[in-house]
């Protein structure tokens, strides 16, 4: 086989690389070595493609093996003609490959008959990388301030992430009750925290002045607020409205005291000032708060899935279970968002009364009267 390397090319097949490779690197080497030793074992490889490999060199070698016709076993045992062809084909994508790289792959393969097991491991690691990439893309979408319709774009990416999860589930059916062992990261802060505080204050003040507007936002929950005190004040407002009691800054402040919201040292005067500057409508500010909650939930979901995918101890089964549970949080907020933004159907017109048959009651009565004379 030709052995002249290209100058200044990286050798990601080099066994003496300075950075210790991950276990999947050795698995990929074993799989490729098995296929180079016995090309007919490619029929035992299912569920992976060239992009399933973690390095460009491994990708190129597998692409060459899978596209070239396998050699005759007897000829392959006597000469390296097919290996020369594999090298020439693979070097079209990874020019730094050398004949010694292929020989190294052959030498590190412990048992060629374990090819299906190696392929399954490569498939599992590729599933992990695919899941992490989809989660990362969702985070980027949440942070993209240039999007004209951020909620719709984020939900589209969430659906794409869910598709990746279901694809993994189809190849690695989850086992009941097997959860990832990785602790979930803490919920992230709202990206526009200062603006969120101001908008929540406006929402609370507007709801205090116009408590009838509280009924228009049944989809808004305390968990949608970024400030715990604001979430508690919203609960005070909804409780007073539900009990049909007077609503004004003083009654809300008293309700807050009864609920222990001021026990942390919150200034009652500051609470009154928070409730004293209404603007726009309750529904407007409520929708803003819900949108922020949806975006924050999507980011936290993606971060949870990224944490799961980043833990190599989690199996594909665990990744599916954990990712599905994380995505359920987006689904819950999505339902409320659809409720908030879907126009109410027009009122149904009152049914018209059809004209009945002509009455015949009077005529028989008159006839009966004449009969009695």
Q: What does the pLDDT look like over 145-165, one tens digit per residue?
A: 999 999 999 999 999 999 999
Lowest mean pLDDT: which of 44-48, 66-70, 338-342? 44-48
pLDDT, tens digit, 9 for 90 and up, residues 116-138 = 999 999 999 999 999 999 999 99
Q: What's the pLDDT at 292?
A: 95
Half-sphere exposure of 353 (CA within 13 A, CB side): 3
As a whole number of angstroms, the distance between CA 208 and CA 216 comes to 14
| The pLDDT of residue 369 is above 80 | no
CATH 1.10.860.10 residue ranges of the chain are 126-342
Amino acid 2: pLDDT? 43
* pLDDT value of position 163: 98
Q: Does 289 score more than 90 pLDDT?
A: yes
Is residue 161 within 8 Å of 209, Cβ to Cβ? no
The residue with greater pLDDT, 245 or 18, is 245
Q: What pLDDT sits at residue 18?
A: 58
Per-residue pLDDT band for 97 (boundaries 50, 70, 90) equals: very high
Domain 126-342 architecture? Orthogonal Bundle (1.10)
- pLDDT category of residue 264 using cuts at 50, 70 and 90: confident
Say if residues 41 and 112 touch (Cβ distance below 8 Å): yes
Do residues 333 and 294 make contact, with C-beta atoms less than 8 angstroms apart?
A: yes
Checking if the pLDDT of 176 tops 90, the result is no
Band (33; pLDDT cuts 50, 70, 90): very high
* pLDDT computed for residue 77 by the predictor: 85
Predicted pLDDT of residue 55: 94
Confidence of residue 353 (pLDDT cuts 50, 70, 90): low
What is residue 5's predicted lDDT score, i.e. its pLDDT?
Answer: 42
Compute the average pLDDT of residues 74-84. 89
pLDDT for the residue numbered 355 = 53
| Residue 110, phi-psi category: left (phi > 0), alpha (psi -120 to 50), beta (remainder) | alpha
Q: Average pLDDT in the 222-237 region?
A: 96
The answer to whether residue 20 scores a pLDDT higher than 90 is no
Phi and psi dihedrals of 134, rounded to 5? -65, -40
Give me the percent of the chain exceeding a pLDDT of 70: 86
For 61, 96, 130, 366, 369, the CA distances from 93, given in Å and listed in that order, are 9, 9, 22, 107, 111
Residue-level length of the chain: 373
Mean pLDDT of the chain: 88
Residue found by looking up tokens 């008293």 in the block:
254
The answer to whether 231 and 289 have CB atoms below 8 angstroms apart is no
Phi/psi-derived region of residue 307, left when phi > 0, alpha when psi is between -120 and 50, beta in every other case: alpha
pLDDT at 330: 97
Task: Report the distance separating Cα 161 and Cα 131, nearest Å.
Answer: 7
Are the CB atoms for 143 and 109 separated by under 8 Å? Answer: no
pLDDT band at 356 (very low <50, low <70, confident <90, very high): low
- What's the confidence (pLDDT) of residue 186? 87
Please report, to the nearest 10 degrees, the dihedral formed by the alpha carbons of residues 212, 215, 220, 223 taken in order: 70
For residue 265, the model assigns a pLDDT of 86
DSSP notation for 71-123: PPHHHHHH--HHHHHHHHHHTTT-TT--HHHHHHHHHH-S-GGGHHHHHHHHH
pLDDT for the residue 4: 42
For domain 23-110, give the CATH number: 1.10.860
89 has pLDDT over 60? yes
pLDDT for the residue numbered 363: 46
The yes-or-no verdict on residue 346 having pLDDT over 80 is no
How many whole angstroms separate alpha carbon 101 and alpha carbon 38? 17
* Span 297-325, average pLDDT: 95
pLDDT at 114 (0 to 100): 94
What φ, ψ does residue 328 adopt, rounded to 5°?
Answer: -60, -30
What integer is the mean pLDDT of 321-345?
A: 92
Task: Give, in degrees to the nearest 5, the angle at Cα 168 between 165 and 174.
Answer: 95
Q: Is the pLDDT of residue 7 over 60?
A: no
Closest CA to 210 of 202, 218, 220, 200: 202
pLDDT tens digits for 39-55? 999 998 988 999 999 99
Asked whether the beta carbons of 180 and 314 are under 8 A apart, the reply is: yes
């Amino acid at each position: 086989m030709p052995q002249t390397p290209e100058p200044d090319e990286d050798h990601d097949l080099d066994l003496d690389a300075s950075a210790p490779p991950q276990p999947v690197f050795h698995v990929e080497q074993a799989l490729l070595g098995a296929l180079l030793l016995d090309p007919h074992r490619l029929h035992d490889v299912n569920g992976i493609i060239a992009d399933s490999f973690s390095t460009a060199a491994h990708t190129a070698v597998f692409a060459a093996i899978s596209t070239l016709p396998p050699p005759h076993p007897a000829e392959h045992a006597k000469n390296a003609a097919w290996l020369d062809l594999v090298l020439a084909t693979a070097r079209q994508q990874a020019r730094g490959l050398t004949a010694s790289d292929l020989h190294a792959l052959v030498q590190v393969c412990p048992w060629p008959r374990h090819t299906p097991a190696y392929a399954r491991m490569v498939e599992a690691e590729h599933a992990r990388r695919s899941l992490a990439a989809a989660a990362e893309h969702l985070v980027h979408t949440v942070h993209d301030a240039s999007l004209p319709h951020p909620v719709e774009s984020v939900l589209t990416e969430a659906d794409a992430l869910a598709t990746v999860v279901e694809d993994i589930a189809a190849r690695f059916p989850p086992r009941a009750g097997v959860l990832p062992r990785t602790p979930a990261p803490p919920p992230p802060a709202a990206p526009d925290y200062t603006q969120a505080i101001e908008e929540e204050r406006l929402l609370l003040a507007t709801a205090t002045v116009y408590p009838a507007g509280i009924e228009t936002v049944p989809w808004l929950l305390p968990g949608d607020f970024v400030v715990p005190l604001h979430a508690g004040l919203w609960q005070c407002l909804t409780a007073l409205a539900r009990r049909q009691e007077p609503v004004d800054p003083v009654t809300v402040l008293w309700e807050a005291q009864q609920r222990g919201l001021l026990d942390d040292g919150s200034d009652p005067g500051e609470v009154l000032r928070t409730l004293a500057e209404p603007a726009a409508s309750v529904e407007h500010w409520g929708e803003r708060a819900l949108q922020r909650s949806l975006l924050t939930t999507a980011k936290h979901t993606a971060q949870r899935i990224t944490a799961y995918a980043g833990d190599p101890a989690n199996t594909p089964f665990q990744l599916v279970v954990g990712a599905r549970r994380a995505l359920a949080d987006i689904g819950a907020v999505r339902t409320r968002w659809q409720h908030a933004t879907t126009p109410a159907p027009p009122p149904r017109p009152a049914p018209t009364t059809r004209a009945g048959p002509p009455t015949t009651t009077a005529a028989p009565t008159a006839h009966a009267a004449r009969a009695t004379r």
